């Protein structure tokens, strides 16, 4: 069975834009994953955590036969390839790959809570997700377009690529 998955990517250390490009290529290279859509990149102010550089974020939609746990492992493997270190909660990072939604699955598993528990509160998730899927809806929270009203004040700017 093929599943529709939304992944959030973010980085704010090193060449974050290039890191996002490379992470997307790595995901696409997986033999059981097809990248269906990729948002523009967005520059966003950090939410929570210590003083740190702005983040570059993107949303990708994939189709896959991988289980939720296998998708999580893929995300962690990519973070590891970028030498992701988890020293500080909400701290700076070379790469962050979050499983935002897996079909309409609802799970309270502490290892992989679905949908992502803060997705509906984050402009850096909602804005790029709406860009790639205008009719998207977040299980338990509703249409992404409606959720956008709650994140209007968060700083997010589309990055002009290829200039």
DSSP for residue 14 = S
Least confident of 10-19, 59-68, 77-86, 110-119: 77-86
Report the C-alpha gap between 64 and 4 in whole angstroms: 7
Tell me whether the omega of the peptide bond preceding residue 115 falls within 30 degrees of 0, making it cis: yes
Q: Phi then psi for 90, rounded to 5 degrees?
A: 60, 25
Q: What percent of the chain has pLDDT over 70?
A: 93
Q: Which tens digits make up the pLDDT trace of 51-70?
A: 889 999 999 999 999 999 99
Domains with residue ranges and CATH for the chain: 3-158 (3.30.70.560)
pTM: 0.93
- Which residues neighbour 16 within 8 Å (Cβ) at sequence distance 6 or greater? 55, 56
Find the mean pLDDT for residues 105-116: 95
In terms of phi and psi (left: phi > 0; alpha: psi -120 to 50; beta: otherwise), the region of 128 is alpha
Buried b (16+ CB within 10 A) or exposed e, 51-86: eeeebbbbbbbbebebebeebbebbeebbeebebee
Tell me: pLDDT of 137 over 60. Answer: yes
What is the tens place of the pLDDT at every residue in 93-108? 889 999 999 999 999 9
Percent of the chain with pLDDT over 90: 78
Residue with tokens 């984050």: 122
């Amino acid at each position: 069975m093929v599943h529709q998955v939304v992944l959030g990517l973010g980085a704010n250390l090193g060449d974050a834009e290039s890191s996002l490009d490379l992470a997307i290529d790595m995901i696409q290279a997986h033999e059981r994953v097809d990248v269906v859509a990729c948002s523009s990149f967005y520059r966003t102010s950090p939410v929570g955590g210590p003083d740190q550089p702005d983040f570059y974020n993107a949303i990708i939609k994939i189709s896959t036969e991988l289980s939720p746990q296998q998708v999580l492992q893929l995300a962690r493997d990519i973070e590891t390839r970028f030498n992701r270190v988890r020293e500080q909660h909400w701290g700076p990072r070379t790469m962050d790959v979050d499983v935002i939604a897996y079909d309409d699955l609802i799970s309270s598993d502490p290892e992989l809570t679905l949908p992502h528990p803060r997705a509906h509160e984050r402009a850096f998730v909602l804005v790029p997700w709406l860009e790639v899927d205008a009719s998207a809806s977040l299980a338990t929270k509703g249409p992404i377009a409606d959720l956008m009203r709650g994140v209007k004040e968060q700083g997010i700017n589309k990055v002009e690529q290829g200039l």
